Amino acid sequence: MSISRILVVCLGNICRSPMAEGALRARIAGSHLAGRVEVDSAGTGGWHAGEPPDRRAIACARRHGVDIGGLRARQVRARDFEDFDWLLCADADNLRDVRRLAPPAARERVALLLDWAGTVPGGEVPDPYDGGDDHFEEVWEMVDAAALAAIERLSSRAGSGIIVP
């Protein structure tokens, strides 16, 4: 059985990427891809390493039936380019930073999350950190829609790592 591995990346790995990781894990677990796709998250910066997600991100995910409280922030590391099939970034700044770190052969596997999923071509997930609960809800809607679209992509597109007839 082929396993696809996805790493979701944002700036500090306490808001957007753990929310996206939670949404992806939940949607995949409830689909025919359960056990065939692994998801993790990381940040381009390491200043929150070892910390749980932002309390507002935890509360938002919980309102949608997803527990991300056990996740811990970490920084993108060189090994990630070997270990993951796709590194999916929240915004253009993260994309630029991750591509800069990537070995040349891995750069084609670094993309914007919303663009890769096909929900918003060229789209970016805004950072809710300086906003209120409504900003976290907006981000949840985006990453959850991307998670649903990711199931379709991983199921049907050639080169996805998983092709399910």
Catalytic residue, chosen from 16, 25, 27, 56, is 16
Q: Is the Cβ–Cβ distance between 116 and 125 less than 8 Å?
A: no
Nearest CA to 53 out of 13, 21, 23 is that of 13
| 10 a catalytic residue | yes
Q: Which of 10, 15, 60, 89 is catalytic?
A: 10
Has 89 been annotated as catalytic?
no
Q: Is 15 a catalytic residue?
A: no
Catalytic residue among 85, 91, 97, 127: 127
Angle at 77 between CA 82 and CA 8, to 5 degrees: 80
Residue 121 is encoded by which pair of tokens? 């071509």
Q: Please check whether residue 19 is in contact with residue 143, taking contact to mean a CB–CB distance below 8 angstroms.
A: yes
Q: Which residues are catalytic?
A: 10, 16, 127
